[in-house]
Structure 1
Amino acid sequence: MNTRDWPIRAKLTALVIGPVTALLALWIFATTLTFGPALDLLAARTLLYDLGRPGETAVAELQRERRLSVVQLAGDAELPALAEQRLRTDRAVAELRRRVDGDELRDAATDLLDTRLDQLVAALDALPSGRGFIDRRQVDRAGALGLYNGMISSAFQAFSAMATLPDADLNREALALTALGRSRELLGQTDALLAGALVAGRFAEGEHDQLVRTINNQRFLAETAVADLPEADRAAYQRLTEGAAFVRLRALQDALVRADGLPPQLDVRTWESSQAAVQQGLRDFELSQADGLAERSVPMAVNILLRLGAVGVLGLIAIVVSVLVALRVGRSLARRLTGVRTAALEMAEQRLPDVVARLRRGEEVDVAREAPELDHAGDEIGQVGRAFNEVRRTAVQAAVDEVALRRGLNEVFLNIARRSQGLVHRQLALLDRLERHAEDPDELAGLFQVDHLATRLRRHAEDLVILAGAAPGRGWRSPVAAVDVVRGAISEVESYDRVDVGAMQPAGVLGRAVGDVIHLLAELIENATVFSPPGTRVEVSGQAVPNGYAIEITDRGLGMSPQAVEDANRRLADSPEFDPADSARLGLFVVARLAERHGVRVQLRRATPTGITAVVLIPADLVTDEPAVGPTGPDAEAATVDDRRMAKVTRLSTLPRPRAARPSRERPDSASPVLPFAAGRGSSVEAAPDGDGLPRRVRRRISSGGRCAGASTTGGR
């Protein structure tokens, strides 16, 4: 059983429960050992009155019925006295059965006594059939003796099972009384044998030997039983046996033992009177001793119960005190350890993240106030608390240092990015001047390629600005058509010649978001081109939806696993902190930052049959009607400043085409590559009057008359 992951309360509880349970079990065991004997002593009275007395009565009646049955079998006539005796026997047996079937006797009986009672009841069940054999003379005198002897023996076995008293002296006395009862039973067997022989006029074969053995066994059993009686009881038994009836009976027994058959001088009346007197005397002695035994067992049981109560109460008090002390100490330990754990969790889940968040917002943090001292005692738990105080101070100071380091790195990134941006803008301006003065188509195509590389450098420089937590800085004052925004994004992608612009429903994007949306789309389009085979196309389309404007970018690559798509969507929905160790996901981080800035929603999903579709949902508050297309011909110089800047970005002509020329919103020139012009073509570059330092260029086609006509340029950066 692994207990390492148990809560501290469970461990302390187990630590307490173990000894307390052992102590409680020991207390219960001791109490049971003491309480059981007391119950046995109290049960002795119940056994005496519910089994001893009714059983002894039934045995006496069975003894009388046995003698009469043997006498009837020895003679030829029916004995009326036997029928009367059977009625008395039936009443005694019925009373005994009622007591045996009662709950009080069964509850007080042991397992052994229960078994002996069942055997007694089974033996008594044979009485009616045995009587039938006797009445029909289908059994001799020996068989009748065996029938009754078996039932009476079962009764004495039940009496012996009663002698299970916890006190050794009382138990020895109970066994002695049972042995005296057996001795008296042997006297009854002797009387029955002799009565049958007297009626028949002689002993049957083997009866005299049986008579001698029975007399010897009776005398031995009586002597053995008396030796186990208390001294006072032995003296009382000695006085009883010195009586005249006992002396006469012993003399007659001696005469029977010495003779080979029936002694001719045997006085039958003297035998019967002496036998009856001895039987009654022994029976009265046994009953009086049994009553005394039961009476002595009650005070002894009460004394045991009193001692048990005192010891039990003291033991229970000790258990309760142990439990209370254990609970008090356990609660104290659990409370202190819980306090340390709570402080640790508060530091890890609340204070430290809050300190980091405040530091990133530029707030000042007092380390001593954010990591206050925890008051602990001087024991081991207190030492843990003091060590945790040091850990907290170190953690807060480390967070302060880390944020300061991150802030410094951001400043470095931002400084490098701003410098790079300045150099790239100067490079683009220089390229525009060169383009304006270049007349050779091949030279102009090369300049366009360098111009495109510089445009991509500008986007990467803006990535550094975004990583540093600042805004790139590009922006438009007026709305820009969605199709122009898409073209501007395409112009910043290396493999722009693999991108197809599909159906684009008319819409415009507010100027304050144009630069960031272009950058966002450029990152997604470049991902689509990089992670798809070179021979495939990337499709871009857009449509108005109820909650904004949706732009879809679909590639035909191998796609992503469902788990990877889920992870990417989670990063896009909740912009994470930039982790320099995760540079492979730089594009997702930039897209998430730009989307969070303007409330744009970006989601990836698997395309059919292969590839990935990126859905960019521009919110409705950034979407407007598509701006009007500027005039053509000589009015081109009247175009707005924002139109000219957009033309600079997307390499569109500064002379927009009229709407009638593009009713389907398809712009076939959007994805055409920037390649050297064919022979016979020239170009010229015009300065942009918007004052932003970024010139625009216009290709001119050489007409047959030697004049140049303006045409749209579709290259991109």
Structure 2
Amino acid sequence: MRVPRTPARLRPRSVRAKIVSLLMLPIVSLMALWGFAAVTTASSIGDLERAKSVNSELLTPVGDFVTALQAERTATLAYVAAPASRSLTALETARSTTDKAASVLLDGVNASSSDAELLNAGLPSRLERLQSDAGGLTALRSEVGVKGAAPSAAYTKYSAIIEHGFSVTGALTGDETTDATSEARVVLELSRAREAVARERALLAAGGGTGTLSGSQYALFVGAVATQRELLEPAVADLKAEHRAAYNTVLKGDGYARLVAVEDQVRDAGPGASAVSADSLKGWDGAVSGVLAGLTKAEAGAGTAAAAKANPFGWDTLGASGVAVVLGLVGVLLSLLVSVLVGRGLIVELLDLRNSALEVAGRRLPQAMRRLHAGQGVDIDAEAPMRRLVGDELAQVGTALTAVQRAALKAASERAELLSGISGVYVSLARRSQVLLHRQLDLLATMEQRQRDQGELQDLYRVDYLATRMRRHSESLLILSGIAPGRGWRTPIALADVLRAAVAEIENATRVQIWAVPRVSVAGGSVADVIHLLAELVENAAAFSPPSTQVQLKAARLRDGVLIEVEDSGFGMNEDAMAEANRKIQAQRVDLLDAKQIGLFVVNRLAERQGLRVELRPTPSGGVTAAVLIPESLLRDDMPVHDRAVGDGGQGHGRSLAPASALIPRQRFSDG
């Protein structure tokens, strides 16, 4: 499977950026998890705060209003059925209580900070209807709460308002459940069970006033009993254990037992006077009042009151989520602290390692190499002290770098010693060869003077040429070893003689054509090196061109010196080969172990010593031209007069074979 690569522009480049990215990824993930836990916990706190607000501003006022209406309904039915001063007093008291509850309800609705539509889409219309009901209580009372009014009308209209209150409660309790409350649906069912008991009380109050229960009243009573028994005990079983106890106390009390007994008695008796006689209803009012009070108190503990008392920042609300938020925050802070400390330390170590490596590669190792190439000794232990292999991986990398540096210095030192030894061998062999060659050249000069046979003389000339070339090769060994050759001149030499002498030191001198030469001289101290350099270039041109072609040797005076060009008609060089040859000619250091094209290294040393500029470039005919610029500082305009003049006016074509030693005035030659 091929893993897709990150785009280059998104990839961190520096070590610092890479480490920060690596360390920040788990921290960001941890912060995201902590943020989720914090948001969840804050949401729980917000829900509880909203539930408390809804409870204090809406739920409690609605519940109190419904309870007051239930009491007023009972008092109204009792007064309508049997008008008396006692029942009128009870009715006025109930109405006063209802008015206070209605006032609190209206104030709560008007002051509510919760958006009703966000709580429930149907809540605004239900609240408006309940507000209208609360505002129309006066009209309702004048209609159904007077002598002679029909009890059924009062029962129906009060029950309708109470149902409107339950509809508001149902819309509110859908968002009210918290850890401190039981399920809102169960609490609402218990509220309806309490309403059923209140209806039973109202119906019996109406019947008790007249001493009879009509058929419709009996049916309503039986229906209320059925509703109460279907909802109460099953709903209690669904409550939380801590809320169930209050209901069980009511259900197991004497008041509820008396309530059940009266319910059964009235239901079994059917409609008629006997069902609601004074004897049969004995103890009913006290029992039902106690049961309703107990149910109201238990309902408040299971629902609205519990939510109002709940602490948003308490253990019951926060619980494990609060602990997770706190521990998560501590974990995030610790992770940030550890990441900063570890990352910073790692970055510092890596940067120190990088700086050390750059220091070694860019300054210390090259300086040590230059000293070694210059023949100076290097203390490896002082340059790269060896560390013990201890510490972490980065320390081991530093130790490995030091080991590499020591190995490089050791190899360079051994190579420098080897080169020094080779150079010493070169010098020793060259010195010995020079002594023998000088003796050989002197012997050849003596033999040439005695010989009169032209054939023998030509052979001696050829031997003279070979000996001269051998002397030049011997001098090349000294030059590569950094030692100046022994021969030299004290006075300036004409440039024409210098060119002729350079041509005389190659085997195929007859193939070289010298063109017009400027009438200038070369400083005596530079003559030997210029002759040697030109001889190397001319010999190279003759060796790499066909035997039937000629090598052109031209000289021209320029503003800053004399330009000498050695042009051949060979097969030329490709760009890479020519660039490599020019690199060897112009390099600052010479590798004595490179056995290829030693003549270019000799040219390099001679050009550097005399300040000459040498360059190879292609010729239009396909060959190679070697250009040598002799600077003005090495030239003299006064033309010296020698015993041997250049007979052709400076154009020597090399057509007659003469010994090489005869082409330079010997009276000014010194073996220094």
TM-score (normalised: structure 2): 0.62
Q: 1:289 aligns with which of 272, 289, 305?
A: 305
Give 3-state SS (helix, strand or coil) of 1:412's partner.
Answer: helix
Shift of 1:583: 0.6
* 8 A contact 2:61–2:108 mirrored in 1: yes
The superposition leaves residues 410-461 of structure 1 with CA deviations (integer Å, 9 ceiling, x where unpaired) of 2332222123223333333344444444555544444433333332222211
Shift of 1:471: 1.1
Q: Which residue matches 1:179?
A: 186
Q: 2:52 aligns with which of 28, 49, 52?
A: 49
For 1:424-503, list aligned pairs within 5 A: 424-502=437-515
Give 3-state SS (helix, strand or coil) of 1:617's partner.
Answer: strand
Give, as a single letter, the amino acid of the residue that structure 2 aligns with 1:184: S
- For the residues of structure 2 that align with 1:257 and 1:551, how far apart are their CA atoms? 142
Q: 1:627 aligns with which of 629, 639, 661?
A: 639
Q: Which residue matches 2:239?
A: 225
The 1:327–1:89 alpha-carbon spacing in structure 2 relative to 1, beyond 3 Å, is: closer
The 1:569–1:421 alpha-carbon spacing in structure 2 relative to 1, beyond 3 Å, is: same
- For the residues of structure 2 that align with 1:595 and 1:686, how far apart are their CA atoms? 24
Give, as a single letter, the amino acid of the residue that structure 1 aligns with 2:249: Q
Shift of 1:542: 2.7
- For the residues of structure 2 that align with 1:618 and 1:338, how far apart are their CA atoms? 47
Give, as a single letter, the amino acid of the residue that structure 1 aligns with 2:598: L
- For the residues of structure 1 that align with 2:372 and 2:38, how far apart are their CA atoms? 70
The 1:555–1:273 alpha-carbon spacing in structure 2 relative to 1, beyond 3 Å, is: farther
Give, as a single letter, the amino acid of the residue that structure 1 aligns with 2:51: L
Shift of 1:590: 0.6
Shift of 1:505: 4.1
Shift of 1:290: 1.6
Give, as a single letter, the amino acid of the residue that structure 1 aligns with 2:465: H
* 8 A contact 1:554–1:607 mirrored in 2: yes
Give 3-state SS (helix, strand or coil) of 1:627's partner.
Answer: coil
Give 3-state SS (helix, strand or coil) of 1:465's partner.
Answer: helix
Note if 1:529 corresponds to 2:542: yes
Note if 1:518 corresponds to 2:525: no
Give 3-state SS (helix, strand or coil) of 1:99's partner.
Answer: coil
The superposition leaves residues 192-240 of structure 1 with CA deviations (integer Å, 9 ceiling, x where unpaired) of 9999xx9xx979xxxx99995786145411342164427xxx2477349
- For the residues of structure 2 that align with 1:192 and 1:560, how far apart are their CA atoms? 121
- For the residues of structure 1 that align with 2:386 and 2:670, how far apart are their CA atoms? 62
* 8 A contact 1:508–1:623 mirrored in 2: yes
Q: Which residue matches 1:616?
A: 628
- For the residues of structure 2 that align with 1:424 and 1:54, how far apart are their CA atoms? 126
Q: Which residue matches 2:521?
A: 508
* 8 A contact 1:39–1:301 mirrored in 2: no
Note if 1:157 corresponds to 2:171: no
The 1:156–1:100 alpha-carbon spacing in structure 2 relative to 1, beyond 3 Å, is: same
- For the residues of structure 1 that align with 2:330 and 2:196, how far apart are their CA atoms? 57
Q: Which residue matches 1:122?
A: 121
The 1:278–1:300 alpha-carbon spacing in structure 2 relative to 1, beyond 3 Å, is: closer
Shift of 1:595: 0.9
* 8 A contact 1:559–1:606 mirrored in 2: yes
* 8 A contact 2:488–2:524 mirrored in 1: yes
Shift of 1:463: 1.1
The 1:386–1:25 alpha-carbon spacing in structure 2 relative to 1, beyond 3 Å, is: closer
Q: 2:667 aligns with which of 655, 678, 690?
A: 690
Give, as a single letter, the amino acid of the residue that structure 2 aligns with 1:49: K
Shift of 1:574: 3.1
The 1:55–1:434 alpha-carbon spacing in structure 2 relative to 1, beyond 3 Å, is: farther
Q: Which residue matches 2:230?
A: 216
- For the residues of structure 2 that align with 1:261 and 1:546, how far apart are their CA atoms? 146
Note if 1:593 corresponds to 2:605: yes
- For the residues of structure 2 that align with 1:261 and 1:524, how far apart are their CA atoms? 145
- For the residues of structure 2 that align with 1:526 and 1:263, how far apart are their CA atoms? 153
Q: Which residue matches 1:577?
A: 590
Give, as a single letter, the amino acid of the residue that structure 2 aligns with 1:353: M
Shift of 1:401: 6.5
Shift of 1:513: 0.7
Q: 1:602 aligns with which of 611, 614, 624?
A: 614
Q: Which residue matches 2:314?
A: 298
Give, as a single letter, the amino acid of the residue that structure 1 aligns with 2:645: L
The 1:440–1:257 alpha-carbon spacing in structure 2 relative to 1, beyond 3 Å, is: farther
The 1:297–1:218 alpha-carbon spacing in structure 2 relative to 1, beyond 3 Å, is: farther
- Greater Cα offset, 422-431 or 385-394: 385-394
For 1:140-539, list aligned pairs within 5 A: 155-160=172-177, 162-163=178-179, 171=180, 174-176=181-183, 179-185=186-192, 216-225=230-239, 227-229=241-243, 234-235=245-246, 238-239=249-250, 284-286=300-302, 289-291=305-307, 293-295=309-311, 298=314, 349=365, 352-353=368-369, 356=372, 360=375, 403=416, 405-502=418-515, 504-534=517-547, 536-539=549-552
- For the residues of structure 2 that align with 1:405 and 1:533, how far apart are their CA atoms? 39
Q: Could you tell me which runs of 5 or more consecutive residues in structure 2 were left unpaired when the two chains were aligned.
A: 4-13, 71-100, 131-156, 207-214, 278-284
- For the residues of structure 2 that align with 1:352 and 1:121, how far apart are their CA atoms? 86
Give, as a single letter, the amino acid of the residue that structure 1 aligns with 2:474: A
The 1:51–1:584 alpha-carbon spacing in structure 2 relative to 1, beyond 3 Å, is: farther
* 8 A contact 1:576–1:589 mirrored in 2: no
The 1:417–1:256 alpha-carbon spacing in structure 2 relative to 1, beyond 3 Å, is: farther
* 8 A contact 1:202–1:262 mirrored in 2: no
The 1:412–1:324 alpha-carbon spacing in structure 2 relative to 1, beyond 3 Å, is: same
* 8 A contact 1:486–1:518 mirrored in 2: yes
Shift of 1:601: 1.9
Give, as a single letter, the amino acid of the residue that structure 1 aligns with 2:369: P
- For the residues of structure 2 that align with 1:391 and 1:262, how far apart are their CA atoms? 118
Give 3-state SS (helix, strand or coil) of 1:539's partner.
Answer: strand
The superposition leaves residues 235-260 of structure 1 with CA deviations (integer Å, 9 ceiling, x where unpaired) of 4773499597x789878987999899
Shift of 1:31: 8.0
Give 3-state SS (helix, strand or coil) of 1:452's partner.
Answer: helix
Give 3-state SS (helix, strand or coil) of 2:630's partner.
Answer: strand
Give 3-state SS (helix, strand or coil) of 1:513's partner.
Answer: helix
Shift of 1:523: 1.6
TM-align CA RMSD: 6.7
The 1:327–1:210 alpha-carbon spacing in structure 2 relative to 1, beyond 3 Å, is: same
Give, as a single letter, the amino acid of the residue that structure 2 aligns with 1:122: A
Shift of 1:61: 11
TM-score (normalised: structure 1): 0.59
Aligned length: 582
- For the residues of structure 2 that align with 1:328 and 1:576, how far apart are their CA atoms? 44
The 1:89–1:468 alpha-carbon spacing in structure 2 relative to 1, beyond 3 Å, is: same
- For the residues of structure 2 that align with 1:264 and 1:555, how far apart are their CA atoms? 150
The superposition leaves residues 435-494 of structure 1 with CA deviations (integer Å, 9 ceiling, x where unpaired) of 444555544444433333332222211111212221122322222333432333233234
Shift of 1:591: 0.8
- For the residues of structure 1 that align with 2:163 and 2:541, how far apart are their CA atoms? 112
- For the residues of structure 2 that align with 1:262 and 1:499, how far apart are their CA atoms? 157
The 1:158–1:368 alpha-carbon spacing in structure 2 relative to 1, beyond 3 Å, is: closer
Q: Could you tell me which runs of 5 or more consecutive residues in structure 1 were left unpaired when the two chains were aligned.
A: 2-8, 68-84, 102-116, 132-140, 164-170, 631-638, 641-653, 677-684, 695-717
- For the residues of structure 2 that align with 1:384 and 1:440, how far apart are their CA atoms? 80
Give, as a single letter, the amino acid of the residue that structure 2 aligns with 1:521: L
Give, as a single letter, the amino acid of the residue that structure 1 aligns with 2:236: A
- For the residues of structure 2 that align with 1:249 and 1:288, how far apart are their CA atoms? 26
Give 3-state SS (helix, strand or coil) of 1:583's partner.
Answer: coil
Shift of 1:375: 8.1
- Greater Cα offset, 591-600 or 317-326: 317-326
Report percent identity of matched pairs: 25
